[in-house]
Amino acid sequence: MKKHIVFLFVTIIISASCSDKTPPVDVIKVENTEQIAKMNQFFGWNIFQKEIESKPGENVLISPLSIQTALSMALNGAGSNTLEQMLQVLDCKNCEVNSINNRLQELTSLLTTQSGHAAISITNAFFYDQNRINVNETFKNKLEQAYECGFQNENFDQAETAITNINAWVKNQTNGKIDQIISEITPDDIAFLINALHFKADWSKGFNTDLTRPGNFLTSSGNQIETSFIGDYRHVPSFVDKDYIIADIPFKDSTFSFSIITTTTKSTKNITSFSQSDYDTLTDKLSIHNASLTMPKLKLSYKNELNKSLDALGMKDAFNPLLADFKSMATSTDNIAIGKINHKAILEVDEKGAEGAAVTSIGFTTTEAQDYLLLNFNKPSVIVIRHIESSALLFIAYVANPGK
């Protein structure tokens, strides 16, 4: 029985300038997080491309760090081919799960407690119904120790109350930016493993609101719309070649940065195919120039199920109730599989700075996985918010139309 960004107009005026920046002294050395940060980048760009491909012409906004954290927690309950496929998707085919736990714990500490100005929080919770599953104590201990994951027993038969409690936790952990990640609990749902991430930072030098003005934005469909543009003349890390324009705007204390990339007028490149190698090449060539910089104010919101993108990357067995192996997580009357992986993210950019939030929910079920609608977006620019030292990706966005 079945159970269940933006077209960015940036004019770069070349001039000589330089800036000496002393990196912050951290208790956790950035080199300790190098491997997990590289995994974050590899996985982040891969799933970003899959999301873009799924629905051309619309906006995409994901938090690679949130998704990576949720999946890494789930690794602790996975076994056999399910575990191997998940490790491969996360770019750590032969890794020990305990090593991933330790490295991700260090990266989380580096980002949240040792990064200066930016306000960033990463929290985790496991909501379950003890009448439907028996949680493995080893699994529980690992998540509590490495991820500070809270475990909350809920009566899923009282679905409305459980949904309210879960979404209240999400709203609280994202500073009110995301108020819902779960909309229903079916009789076959047994647990939800959730990561919540919140980021807020001011620019190192704010933009003058008096210079904000309306302007035309060329959408991916070729239509022009009017929207509000932030603008200023300033020294900014930037680079222009025959294909791309990049501006890398630092946040206060220069721990995190906001990269905006678009194609040049004469480029034959399509920004939707912008890749990790393209980004690495451009950031390696950044230098400070005098610039006239113009970019749209943004308020992006994105919600999507990640099942199809992760399946396309090779994570298949986890969604198959006949093949999934999560015996190390819990026991139930039927085999446990992943039903839905929901991801929701918001990003607001204005004259003062940027604020973003993301939630990733892995819903475990004893139901056969269904074919769900994907709500993906994309085109003509890419946005990246990263931790500068480790290059860990907090957000990647592709903005096709900032007016929507």
- Provide φ and ψ at 287, rounded to 5°: -150, 160
- pLDDT tops 90 at residue 353: yes
15 pLDDT more than 90? no
pLDDT digits over 135-149, tens only?
Answer: 999 999 999 999 999
| Beta strand spans in 251-373 (E) | 256-263, 287-296, 298-305, 330-331, 337-349, 353-365
16 pLDDT more than 70: no
Predicted pLDDT at 309: 96
Report the SS3 class of residue 160.
Answer: helix
> Helix (H, G, I), strand (E, B), or coil: what is residue 68?
helix
- Structural domains of the chain ordered from first start: 1-18+33-404 (3.30.497.10)
What pLDDT, on the 0 to 100 scale, is given for residue 380?
A: 66
pLDDT of residue 186: 93
Q: What is the pLDDT of residues 60-90, one digit of tens each?
A: 999 999 999 999 999 999 999 999 999 999 9
Name the DSSP letter for residue 357. Answer: E
d(CA 75, CA 89): 11
What is the C-alpha R_g of the chain? 21
Q: Is the predicted pLDDT of residue 192 greater than 50, yes or no? A: yes
Region 229-251 average pLDDT: 91
- Residue 312: the pLDDT is 96
**Which whole number is the average pLDDT over 32-39?**
89
pLDDT of residue 13: 29
For the chain, what is the largest distance between any 2 Cα atoms, rounded to a whole number of angstroms? 70
Strand pairing category for 150-153 and 119-128: parallel
Q: How far apart are CA 312 and CA 314, in angstroms?
A: 5
pLDDT confidence band for 105 (50 / 70 / 90):
very high
- What's the angle, vertex CA 126, arms to CA 314 and CA 377, rounded to 5? 45
Q: What is the DSSP letter of 33?
A: G
Supply the pLDDT for residue 30: 62
Question: Bigger pLDDT: 127 or 4?
Answer: 127
What torsion do the CA atoms of 161, 163, 164, 166 make, to the nearest 10 degrees? Answer: 120
pLDDT digits (tens, 9 = 90+) for 247-304: 999 998 778 999 999 998 888 899 999 999 999 999 999 999 888 889 999 999 999 9
Average pLDDT, the chain: 86
Cβ neighbours of 281 (radius 10 Å) = 14
Mean pLDDT of 315-340: 92
How would residue 376 be classed by pLDDT, with cut points 50, 70 and 90? very low
How many residues are there in the chain?
404
Write the Ramachandran bin of 160: left for phi over 0, alpha for psi from -120 to 50, otherwise beta: alpha
Residue 112 has pLDDT above 50, yes or no: yes
Which of 264, 210, 199 has its CA nearest to residue 397? Answer: 199
Residue 96 has pLDDT above 90, yes or no: yes
Burial readout 226-247 (b: 16 or more C-beta within 10 A, e: otherwise): ebbbbbbebebbbbbeeebbbb
